[in-house]
Structure 1
């Protein structure tokens, strides 16, 4: 059984983007004759992961559920059922192509080995301390794996197919490459690749050299690289690690060891992404925070060519009255609603952020003066059209917007923010719910 990560990872890590836009199956089937354990595990999965769980106590009930409902993605099954022996239970689900986790109440090494010879995810003892927590983690890991692409690089077709089959069984979207050149092309073409398995002995470009090239394309906090080799050279492991690998596996490796190493490295990537989000994103809205806005804007302005750029400061009108009359929860909802409108009006190369309190900031480039004016007026109107309901009371709100527009030049960001802030003050002083803007030479 894998150790559970010491630090829990949030359910929806922002650093991992889904490579697929097709809705993924969500339903979990729990097949077990112990009501106490079933209730405990079902509640834990549904409450912590918000995934729907259906329960059956026999193969017949399980079959009825599978035939009646669609969208199944995982089965957790015990081995002691009234209408099937141990081998029949496992093959019943595996033969249907369903990812299956076996949950057993008795440790039997021969049984464990026999079960693991079939295409199951894991064999877990349910009566050990922490078994429910481990199973919840395992379900979460399987759910997240479906949104991660993995690359296997090996010139041996059989070895490559074996590693690819294991990763596919664990839910990853797998890409294969027969040599280093093909691997580098795959990495450049697919930003969804977060895991690479690299064999050392390959013609043209050995694994250590490929790892060095991979690191030049993608940093450690964006992609995990695991080296593999059957070579007994003791210097190989440190060479891989010093050239950017996260981990190393010696061939031949067991399925369980492979799953442990892969899962721990992907968990680490997600944890790093979570910490980065905590440092750069506003906890309430999910927008970049002030620090992140300043850093991103400086980089964007430094790399931009010529032309004008606009910075807008947006402030919710009479926000203190919202908090005082409806409560701070209503104030939080108002901030989130405004942030949602800002996100909808933020193009791919624009930057929007929560600056603090009820104040937001946007950086918009590539618009003419008339386009900029129309853009921020549309933003103001969209926020004014919001209608939030709080029990018996409803809320409509407005914003004041100050905009500064000027040609790109060194030190432009500080001047843009300072002048946009002054224009915001003028908008407030003129009666609120309006846009005040200035064009600087």
Structure 2
């Protein structure tokens, strides 16, 4: 079921713009031109199906923000749009627990609304730690963050902060102050930065406005950003969002660099980077398989490259399904690799053979022609120290599978068993 957004707006032009923005965000607009109409519409819906409400401050039957109060009482995160720019209206709006307010000023403000809708959905998967704050400040920060759908965590000590990070991999931001019980804030920032790069974890320090030296010390210790007290509602949330967006941009670029565009699997470079150190230090107990689609060139030549791409994406989907606990990569063309950590030889063979049979069952069609594919696999279960040596040995086993008739697994398991029998 598509997530909904309640829109209460009496201007037809503004309504049309907001509806389009909501639809572009992949959400379903539920529109009302008055508070009365909104009450009627909302009474017949499930509140949990709504992401938020976008509400005009001044409506024919709610001239002073009463529609805002209705949405907040209905437990809806509320974004206010208004044509009024005076200080009194702004203060009136921000005195309520709204997500944000947006003046109907120019095209850029509507662009901000579009980005805010996307943020509210993504924020459900993002965690933020509030640490080293006095009780009143912490409550205020947590309230602001929850309005934006963030998962919030509170800590009173540096050790609690580190523990929360170890236990919750969704955390992207730490907001730190000077009220830590076991360590000063610069020491906490320094220790966090030793474990997490700026592109992984944003650290935002909050300090008193009457001491300008603190902000410089925090930045030099490794903080991404700082806020001076007292700060306004909007500045706080804008700085949080900007730091998270920077992390997301870096993650997106890293993902593009490490991922095969067609299949979504890891690419060759990432596969070797991720596993080289691991295999160098501990090769025992792991398994490595090299896989190659049989007669793939014939598929491209007979049915076209689109058909070949369909085969590659289908087989990649099966790899993700069968080996979601492994490192799976497309090394190039029709060749794939699967690294199975801490997997006994017989189990590795069984899992790969189940996958091989699953590939064999797939039927592909181009127009009225149906065809099947198969895969040959070289499985190495006695790993040498060094990934390059392991890949070479697994490749040799793959060639044996090809030479033996294809659509099969060639493994070193038999040789391992023979060596054990000779020792006994």
Q: Which runs of 5+ in 2 are unaligned?
A: 417-424
SS at match of 2:149: coil
SS at match of 1:378: helix
Say whether 1:73 aligns with 2:51. yes
Q: Deviations over 1:105-140 (max 9, x none)?
A: 343332122112111111112340223321110111
SS at match of 1:406: coil
SS at match of 2:68: helix
SS at match of 1:313: strand
Q: Deviations over 1:284-329 (max 9, x none)?
A: 222111011011121221342634x432221223333444454434
Say whether 1:416 aligns with 2:390. yes
Which whole-Å CA distance do the structure 2 matches of 1:124 and 1:77 have between them?
10
Which whole-Å CA distance do the structure 2 matches of 1:26 and 1:217 have between them?
37
Partner of 2:88: 110
Which whole-Å CA distance do the structure 2 matches of 1:86 and 1:333 have between them?
57
Candidates 23, 26, 32, aligned match of 1:46:
23
Say whether 1:252 aligns with 2:230. yes
Partner of 2:357: 381
Q: Mark the CA change 1:386 to 1:115 in structure 2 (over 3 Å): closer, same or farther.
A: same
Say whether 1:178 aligns with 2:156. yes
- Structure-2-length-normalised TM-score: 0.89
Q: Mark the CA change 1:389 to 1:100 in structure 2 (over 3 Å): closer, same or farther.
A: farther
Say whether 1:334 aligns with 2:311. yes
Which whole-Å CA distance do the structure 2 matches of 1:38 and 1:327 have between them?
48
Which whole-Å CA distance do the structure 1 matches of 2:114 and 2:300 have between them?
38
Whether the 8 Å CA contact 2:374–2:407 is kept in 1: the answer is yes
1:103 positional shift:
1.6
Say whether 1:370 aligns with 2:346. yes
Say whether 1:267 aligns with 2:249. no
Which whole-Å CA distance do the structure 2 matches of 1:380 and 1:267 have between them?
41
Say whether 1:398 aligns with 2:374. yes
Matches within 5 A, 1:16-415: 26-47=3-24, 49-70=25-46, 71-230=49-208, 232-304=210-282, 306-307=284-285, 309-346=286-323, 348=325, 350-388=326-364, 396-409=372-385, 411=386, 413-415=387-389
Q: Mark the CA change 1:405 to 1:36 in structure 2 (over 3 Å): closer, same or farther.
A: same
Which whole-Å CA distance do the structure 2 matches of 1:313 and 1:138 have between them?
45
Whether the 8 Å CA contact 1:155–1:179 is kept in 2: the answer is no
Whether the 8 Å CA contact 2:156–2:181 is kept in 1: the answer is no
Partner of 2:420: none
Partner of 1:10: none
Which whole-Å CA distance do the structure 2 matches of 1:391 and 1:120 have between them?
55
Whether the 8 Å CA contact 2:376–2:398 is kept in 1: the answer is yes
Which range moved further: 419-428 or 279-288?
A: 419-428
1:33 positional shift:
2.8
Which whole-Å CA distance do the structure 1 matches of 2:305 and 2:19 have between them?
34
* Structure ID, larger Rg: 2
1:389 positional shift:
5.8
Which whole-Å CA distance do the structure 1 matches of 2:284 and 2:330 have between them?
27
Say whether 1:434 aligns with 2:412. no
1:365 positional shift:
3.8
- Structure-1-length-normalised TM-score: 0.86
Q: Aligned Cα RMSD in Å?
A: 2.5
Which range moved further: 245-254 or 422-431?
A: 422-431
Whether the 8 Å CA contact 2:283–2:383 is kept in 1: the answer is no
Which whole-Å CA distance do the structure 2 matches of 1:68 and 1:391 have between them?
47
Whether the 8 Å CA contact 1:156–1:178 is kept in 2: the answer is no
Which range moved further: 281-290 or 423-432?
A: 423-432
Which whole-Å CA distance do the structure 2 matches of 1:44 and 1:225 have between them?
32
